[in-house]
Amino acid sequence: AVPTAPSILRRSRARRGGKRVRFAQVTVYYFARRQGFTCVPSAGGSSLGMAPRHHRARRYSLSQFAHLRQVSHRQHLRQHLRREKLRARRRELTQNGTVPSAEAAGLTLADVSDDDLDVGQVEVGDYFYLQPLPTKRRRALLRASGVRRIDAEERQELRALRLSREQCGCLCRLTCEPRTCACSQAGIQCQ
């Protein structure tokens, strides 16, 4: 009889029922906002970033943190629905966006009450919170965080990056022509 080595699969199954990792608390680090220089927003100028070091840290139990997130997500959802309702009202007052209206221009977020929002109709867990921010809101966030001077050169750099990303690959059809293929000349496979 030939001796057989014990199965690796059996050992891993036996270990699965053993020790488990359990978390008791969550540590949240808070960072000040800075101009990013590390990401490319889909539109507009300055990008958002954060300071290299946190200015505050807080510890929460798992239940406290879950409650805090739920409250925060509801606030984000309420603000999003408020902005959507404001856009809809402005559209109505401007005859579907064709004729400008002084009344529509004068509306603000304060004109949309909580009673006008259908927060109960939207499941908070289904809402996507990392929505792209318009340029004006990114600039306002930076200013509110104490950024005095927003580097204007970043706008041109980001525009150039977005344009370069639109032009991906080469113009080869069916077969690659290495003499004229931009991919081949850059030392990568033909796209």
Helix, strand or coil, per DSSP, at residue 37: coil
User: Any idea which of 21-30, 41-50, 86-95 has the lowest mean pLDDT?
Assistant: 86-95
Q: What average pLDDT does this structure show over 42-60? A: 89
User: What's the pLDDT tens digit per position in 75-93?
Assistant: 888 887 888 887 877 777 7
Per-domain boundaries in the chain: 25-165
| 46 close to 138: Cβ distance less than 8 angstroms | yes
What are the residues whose beta carbons fall under 8 Å from the beta carbon of 122, sequence distance 6 or more? 77, 81
User: Residue 7: what pLDDT?
Assistant: 64
pLDDT band at 126 (very low <50, low <70, confident <90, very high): low
